A and B are shown apart, each in its own frame.
Chain A
Amino acid sequence: MKLINRKPSRRLTIFLGLLPFAALLATYLIASDMRLAVNPSDKLLPSFQTMADTMSRMAFEPDKRNGDYLLWTDTAASLYRLFAGLAISAVLALVIGLAMGVLPVARAFFAQFTAAFSLIPPITVLPILFITLGLGEAAKIGLIIVGTTPAMIRTLAQSALDIPRELVIKAETLGASSWQITTRLYLPHILPNLVVALRLGLVPAWIFLISAEAIASTEGLGYRIFLVRRYMAMDLILPYVAWITLLAFVLDRLLLILSKRAFSWNHLEGDSL
């Protein structure tokens, strides 16, 4: 049988899926052991034991200065910024993207502007946001909005344009008004794509969140890892990176589950990742 037609069994699929993770861990373990054998106070590749100790201190022991449980206050602060930014982005993208997809007039108005706006490197806007909005939450949330909204608008506008013309015509012959066509045909068709856009937007959103926190913040996951970078505290940075990755992964899966629950009609055909 040709290689393209060979499908792994269920057990093999799971095994193959876990293999890269195991390989990475094993490589780290060996390298860490080798360095620690030479120099027990090496900071670059701390042992799993050291990392677990550090993390349990962050999670379960109050901070000496302010009594906070730092892992949880950091996580709460970062997730609040992430959700606030993405929520505002989603609403903006939905309204503007829908208008662009449905109304030729709105498309003429927004298309060039969003295309130009989306090419601004968002990080270059960060100083402007800090100057205008101050160093508080607004600037960090603003950066996430600036960084994710243009791409989401274009994704949603395109998905509205991708709706077969036949369906729009059919709705017209059934007596629908422009508003009814928007709410009963366009909206249900682009909501699943809003979830897709959110899933894709999570990656840049995290990048901009961590960047903003690294530059000016007093709490947050990004703030923490850039703070302890000065002490080369890899025993904290590595687990924090893993924790951020885990959060991102869980959010992505939750959005996928939401999409399958809410828009089951959209998952009836084809494979999806």
Chain B
Amino acid sequence: MSRQPKLSVHDLFKEYDGAPVLERVNIDVTEGAFCTIVGASGCGKSTFLRMLLSQEQPSRGEILLDGAPLPEEPTPDRGIVFQRYSVFPHLTVWQNLILAKEFEQAPLTGRLFGSARKKARDEIGDLLERIGLTPATDRYPAQLSGGMQQRLAIAQALVKRPKILLLDEPFGALDPGIRLDMHELLLGLWRELSMTIFMVTHDINEAFKLGTRLLVFDKVRHDPQAPEAYGATITYDLPVDKTARQKKELAETLLHDRPDSA
């Protein structure tokens, strides 16, 4: 492939206090890919995501974004939606959504006043409509359902138009019916905004349904005497198409039926 990958990871290692979590992770991701990441709990998939966000630094190896090393701290070019604590509880829905604009336009106070504030509020009208929160504009997050909160979180993460969107089990706490709605919303936004998405999930069906590429994190080496001796890496990297039923079954087997998986 001649095109430069959007994001490439070279020989990435991550250890905590000498205990390896990830080892030898290598991957190139093209622009516009929707990568879903699955794996047993504790296999380092969230750690991987946090490194893509620069929330944590790799122990060894490098991550390149458009050919340049990642900044050492989170920046607006990478948006994030966490499972919890993703929106600001002290701000109402519309205040959450104009916050990025306030940061941009008011370096000193971080606040917009008067007509500028009203203008910012008017500008998010379409976005509110899109995520179905128009009737809840003036409510605080604690007064919203879990699904509404996550819709707000996704919308908020997209305000800065990030090239990369990172999602850490964003729908993990939601009811199945609500999840389906969220899938539609997310897929629509992804197509519209041509983002590159990385999404950690523990739901294999969700991973297959949403992703164009499925990454399975697992340990390749095992020492029964010292289960912590080796880290995980990407063991399967599957392009997902709509006839991927067999691959799905394969992945399910790999994930759930391994005798010594903790």
A interface residues (Cβ-Cβ under 8 A, vs B): 164-167, 169-177, 179-180, 183-185, 188-189, 263-266, 268-269
Contacts and interface: CB of A to CB of B under 8 A. Distances in A.
Contacts of A265: 89-91, 140, 142
B90 A174 contact: no
B110 A174 contact: no
Contacts of B162: 173
A38 B99 CA distance: 75
Contacts of A184: 99, 102-103, 110-111
15 contacts: A167-B88, A169-B55, A169-B74, A169-B80, A171-B88, A173-B53, A174-B103, A174-B160, A175-B100, A179-B108, A180-B107, A184-B99, A265-B89, A265-B90, A265-B140
A174 B100 contact: yes
B110 A189 contact: no
Mostly, the A contact residues are helix
B78 to A, nearest CB: 6
B142 A268 contact: yes
Nearest to A181: B110
A175 B104 contact: yes
Contact of B86 (A166, A183, A188): A166
A64 B157 CA distance: 72
Given A173-B160, A175-B104, A265-B142, A167 B110 contact: no
B30 to A, nearest CB: 22
B82 A170 contact: yes
Interface residues of B, number: 36
B84 interface: yes
B86 A180 contact: no
Contacts of B159: 174
A175 to B, nearest CB: 4
Interface of B: 53, 55, 73-76, 78-80, 82, 84-91, 99-100, 102-104, 107-111, 140, 142-143, 156-157, 159-160, 162
Given A169-B53, A184-B110, 14 more contacts: A165-B55, A166-B84, A170-B85, A171-B99, A171-B103, A172-B73, A173-B157, A173-B162, A176-B103, A179-B108, A179-B110, A180-B107, A265-B89, A268-B140
A101 B107 CA distance: 21
A161 to B, nearest CB: 14
B241 to A, nearest CB: 32
A183 B109 contact: yes
B86 A170 contact: yes
Contact of A177 (B91, B103, B111): B103
Contacts of B79: 173
A152 B84 CA distance: 29
A269 to B, nearest CB: 5
A24 B111 CA distance: 54
A266 B143 CA distance: 12
Contacts of A266: 89-90
Given A167-B88, A180-B103, A265-B89, A175 B110 contact: no
Given A166-B86, A173-B74, A265-B89, A183 B160 contact: no
